Structure 1
Amino acid sequence: MITDLWLIGIGTGSPDHITLEGQRALREAAIVLLPRKGPGKDDLADLRLAILAAAGAEAQVVPFDMPVRDETLPYQERVARWHDAIATAWVAALPEAAHGPVALLVWGDPGLYDSTLRIADRLSPKPQIRVVPGITALQALTSAHAIPFNTVNGPVTVTTGRQIRDHGWPPDAETLVVMLDGTCAFQTLDPDGLHIWWGAYLGMPEQILDSGPLAEAAPRIIAKRAEARAAHGWIMDTYLLRRQAL
């Protein structure tokens, strides 16, 4: 049983992204749950271990195997069952004599396009939850490209690749930040007047950046993304699109 669950945002891959509050929480946690995501993704576990070491954490590290989503199910049901299975895996992995705060290291920030909080809601009895915010992929992306997040007094729409693919460019949107896009949904948009800033492995030594008019940059990004995924076995990337004056 988990009585205290700490969700600690760890940024996008660099130990330097951990806030002082996050470092302190890692040192004070009794147990850290470490997801294993299958062959070819050992780098993700190693990064978490490096972050723990850099913070001086001495918590007991308890690995668990991440369940696999059933791709044959409708999307909403697929995700719901996957979240149920993850919550069960957390509890099953803990030793019987476990006590003290249990921590999970969450990429970016636990409140932005991450489901850890929703999974935690499935635990029964519900633990006391503490969230430590982290640097988001949005911050890391705009910092890496040295661009502002928004235009002067301009709105920003944060969405997903699935939404872009299914519904296209949102009406009246000026700046679009796209998360969770595994299919390069930007290639489904009319590129006229669009500029893209893209980044993968943000904050890590493997960081890759590209930018330019969408019509010119899209083929480069698609090729770089495929090459990087083949080399590492996984990829985390995001991008910002903005309408430019024609």
Structure 2
Amino acid sequence: MRRVLVIGIGAGDPGHVTMQAVAALNAADVFFVMDKGAAKHELVRLRREICERYIEDTSYRIVEVRDPERDRSAPDYAAAVAAWRSARAEVWEELIARELGGDGCGAFLVWGDPALYDSTIAVLGEVAARGRVAFEFEVIPGISSVQALAAAHRVALNRIGEPIEITTGRRLREKVGDGGGGDVVVMLDAGTAFDSVEDGDTEIYWGAYVGTEHEILVAGKLRDVAEEIVRLRAEARERHGWIMDVYLLRRSSRGG
């Protein structure tokens, strides 16, 4: 039976790779890498670096394939994501059938943790549901950017007796008024959704490229550091051609 491993490789530091992930890396024959274009070539390079660092048998293969484009202008967000995942499933189905023998083992190296705002598990589930290629898959957890952010700022994500919400920039903007109640971690923010928060006393712990050599960190009262974050974010995007950032919003009005 073909095997596919979904391996969380951490937020950018090769040192984030767990011993469980190292064992999984050494079990795979083929690594499937999605090429997202020249702007994000560094993400491919870092995946290669991780393989070179941790895999003992150098006979493994890396197969790069262009990732299908997602229609980011579509008015129906959910439908656009579903269409993109289906396009990915078509590509991955062909890869698994073509590149893995009857008992071969392939792997996808997932940035951060596969269970947190990543589509790999869902896409493989769609491929399996089609029934055209038989395989089983296993998920190996990784250190997420959320964990790396908290560690970099030396803060705990939750406060005593208080919940913590993890959401996206798009969802944060949809909240009414000052962004709703409670502390929140924001991921996948295509812009600066924190500017929708009206309470300037809210604290923000922001990080870009967390866990990498390009890491940028800013913390403070939102009203004091918002403009600095906007500036740093724009400069970093211009410099690298892409940006991945995450932040914790901690409301001043709550106890803990």
TM-score range, shorter chain: over 0.9
1:190 maps to 198
**Structure 2: distance between partners of 1:196 and 1:19:** 29
TM-score, normalized by length of structure 2?
Answer: 0.90
SS at match of 2:100: coil
2:18 maps to 19
Q: Counterparts in 2 of 1:102-117, with a 5 A limit?
A: 102-117=106-121
Letter of the aligned partner of 1:87 in structure 2? A
Q: Counterparts in 2 of 1:151-162, with a 5 A limit?
A: 151-162=159-170
**Structure 1: distance between partners of 2:241 and 2:91:** 23
Of residues 63, 75, 88, the one that matches 1:86 is 88
Q: What is the Cα deviation at residue 193 of structure 1?
A: 2.4
Q: Any conservation in 2 of the 1:63–1:93 contact (CA below 8 Å)? A: no
SS at match of 1:122: helix
**Structure 2: distance between partners of 1:52 and 1:210:** 32
Q: Counterparts in 2 of 1:202-217, with a 5 A limit?
A: 202-217=210-225
Kindly provide the CA deviation profile for residues 89-129 of structure 1, in whole angstroms up to 9, marking residues without a partner as x.
Answer: 22334573622111000011111111111111110326312
SS at match of 1:96: helix
Which structure 2 residue ranges, 5 or more long, are not aligned? Answer: none
Kindly provide the CA deviation profile for residues 152-178 of structure 1, in whole angstroms up to 9, marking residues without a partner as x.
Answer: 1221111111111112455432x1101
User: Percentage identity across aligned positions?
Assistant: 38
1:201 maps to 209
Letter of the aligned partner of 1:17 in structure 2? H
Q: Any conservation in 1 of the 2:35–2:64 contact (CA below 8 Å)? A: yes
**Number of corresponding residues:** 244
1:35 maps to 34
TM-score, normalized by length of structure 1?
Answer: 0.93
Letter of the aligned partner of 2:54 in structure 1? A
Q: Any conservation in 1 of the 2:179–2:196 contact (CA below 8 Å)? A: no
Q: What is the Cα deviation at residue 3 of structure 1?
A: 3.0
**Structure 1: distance between partners of 2:82 and 2:119:** 10
Q: Any conservation in 1 of the 2:164–2:184 contact (CA below 8 Å)? A: yes
Q: Any conservation in 2 of the 1:62–1:94 contact (CA below 8 Å)? A: no
**Structure 2: distance between partners of 1:165 and 1:235:** 19
Letter of the aligned partner of 1:217 in structure 2? V
Letter of the aligned partner of 1:61 in structure 2? I
1:172 maps to 181
Letter of the aligned partner of 1:44 in structure 2? L
Kindly provide the CA deviation profile for residues 39-82 of structure 1, in whole angstroms up to 9, marking residues without a partner as x.
Answer: 22211110110111111253210111011112343211110010
Kindly provide the CA deviation profile for residues 115-158 of structure 1, in whole angstroms up to 9, marking residues without a partner as x.
Answer: 11111111032631200000011110000000111111221111
2:240 maps to 232
Letter of the aligned partner of 1:53 in structure 2? E
2:135 maps to 127
**Structure 2: distance between partners of 1:218 and 1:88:** 42
Which structure 1 residue ranges, 5 or more long, are not aligned? Answer: none
Q: Any conservation in 2 of the 1:64–1:90 contact (CA below 8 Å)? A: no
SS at match of 1:23: helix
**Structure 1: distance between partners of 2:199 and 2:227:** 12
Q: Any conservation in 2 of the 1:12–1:108 contact (CA below 8 Å)? A: yes
Moved more, 29-38 or 117-126: 117-126
**Structure 2: distance between partners of 1:80 and 1:65:** 18
